[in-house]
Amino acid sequence: SALKDKIKRLLKEKNAVMVSHYYVHPDLQDLAEDTGGLVSDSLEMARFGRDHSAQTLVVSGVKFMGETSKILSPHKTVLMPDLDATCSLDLGCPISEFNAFCDAHPDRTVVVYANTSAAVKARADWLVTSSCALDIVKALKDKGQKILWAPDKHLGGYIQRETGADMVFWEGACIVHDEFKAFELEALIKEHPQAKVLVHPESPKEVVALAHAVGSTSAILKAAQTLDAETFIVATDNGMLHKLRTLNPGKTFIEAPTAGNSATCKSCAHCPWMAMNGLAGVARVLEHGLNEVHVEARYLDRARLPIDRMLAFTA
């Protein structure tokens, strides 16, 4: 399309590269890959942006992803199609309350999810994403450390059940994953008894309990390629279905049901903030240098520390 051609031209002119999340519109995923950029999860987005030689990163995703890129590459220009695209986990963990929570548990190692503000990261010992959280908490437990976990209570609970680590939790949830319902999922499983169920651990534990594979978006992609099944039921943001379907053309992927919707719902599990990203926005910000991501100077260096630890751990 003309818009895609325009973006391709602007990327070259501005020495820019696109970094897109699996949950954004398929156009933004495909264009990133077609132009030498990346579509992936938040961990690999951060690493790719840090290591790429382009001077400008165009991050399609939500605010914390742009901020993480900026923290890792303070001398690069980071642009986002829409700066109002945020995250319920980030919004649900304001720094003043988080500071008080940390102050109340001075003996605990502070482990926070990537889906947080720069200020919260700057208070953390470790950053994790859903793809490395389990391994990092396991390693900390093996060193005898007690954990303060924030903000996703479902992911935290899953990790505690898997590792037996001593953890206290912040009460946060992702508005998309929190809506998956076990009762409706069980009914769908009965309709598709051969199907394998792939669940993101930000989902409630009753939903996780029905899974054949539990994991991050990259783990879900891997499970779809390796598990022996033709049909999969997928409990994560439905932006994920694009990559699942293009990488597995012979297989069928069905969306897991959410509250108040029937099993035939085609678009209910989609993050409204991820949906704010589009081709027109990418073209506009590239052309005019708009929507630059800034991180407050007082958080920049301190917030890089837990991110660097995570990147070194997963290197």
Q: Which residues bind ligand MLT (CB under 6 A)?
A: 21, 41-43, 114, 129-131, 200, 216-217
Which residue's CB is nearer to ligand MLT, number 56 or number 216?
A: 216
CA 89-92-95 angle, to 5 degrees, is 110
Which residue's CB is nearer to ligand MLT, number 203 or number 286?
A: 203
Considering the complex, what minimum distance in angstroms separates the CB of residue 155 from ligand MLT?
Answer: 8
User: Within 13 A of 157's CA, how many CA atoms are on the CB side?
Assistant: 17
Which residue's CB is nearer to ligand MLT, number 196 or number 200?
A: 200
Considering the complex, what minimum distance in angstroms separates the CB of residue 176 from ligand MLT?
Answer: 10
Considering the complex, what minimum distance in angstroms separates the CB of residue 23 from ligand MLT?
Answer: 7
Cβ contacts of 266 within 8 Å, gap of 6 or more: 238, 255
Pairing of strands 77-79, 109-113: unpaired
Which residue's CB is nearer to ligand MLT, number 42 or number 258?
A: 42
Considering the complex, what minimum distance in angstroms separates the CB of residue 153 from ligand MLT?
Answer: 14
Q: Provide the total of helices (H) and of strands (E) in the chain, helices listed first.
A: 15, 12
Query: How far is the C-alpha of 98 from the C-alpha of 136, rounded, in Å?
Result: 21
Which residue's CB is nearer to ligand MLT, number 73 or number 130?
A: 130
Which residue's CB is nearer to ligand MLT, number 43 or number 195?
A: 43
For the stretch 52-58, contacts whose Cβ atoms lie closer than 8 Å and that sit 24 or more positions apart, written own/partner, are: 52/17, 54/15, 54/16, 54/17, 55/14, 55/15, 55/16, 56/14, 56/15, 56/16, 56/17, 56/286, 57/16, 57/17, 57/19, 58/11, 58/16, 58/17, 58/18, 58/19, 58/282, 58/285, 58/286
- H or E stretch covering 307: helix 297-313
Considering the complex, what minimum distance in angstroms separates the CB of residue 224 from ligand MLT?
Answer: 14
Which residue's CB is nearer to ligand MLT, number 232 or number 283?
A: 232
Give me the residue label for tokens 């503000």.
117
Considering the complex, what minimum distance in angstroms separates the CB of residue 216 from ligand MLT?
Answer: 3
The DSSP symbol for 271 reads -
Query: How far is the C-alpha of 22 from the C-alpha of 280, rounded, in Å?
Result: 18
Can the peptide bond before residue 151 be classed as cis, meaning omega within 30 degrees of 0? Answer: yes
Query: How far is the C-alpha of 250 from the C-alpha of 260, rounded, in Å?
Result: 30
Which residue's CB is nearer to ligand MLT, number 109 or number 216?
A: 216
Considering the complex, what minimum distance in angstroms separates the CB of residue 111 from ligand MLT?
Answer: 14
Considering the complex, what minimum distance in angstroms separates the CB of residue 258 from ligand MLT?
Answer: 17
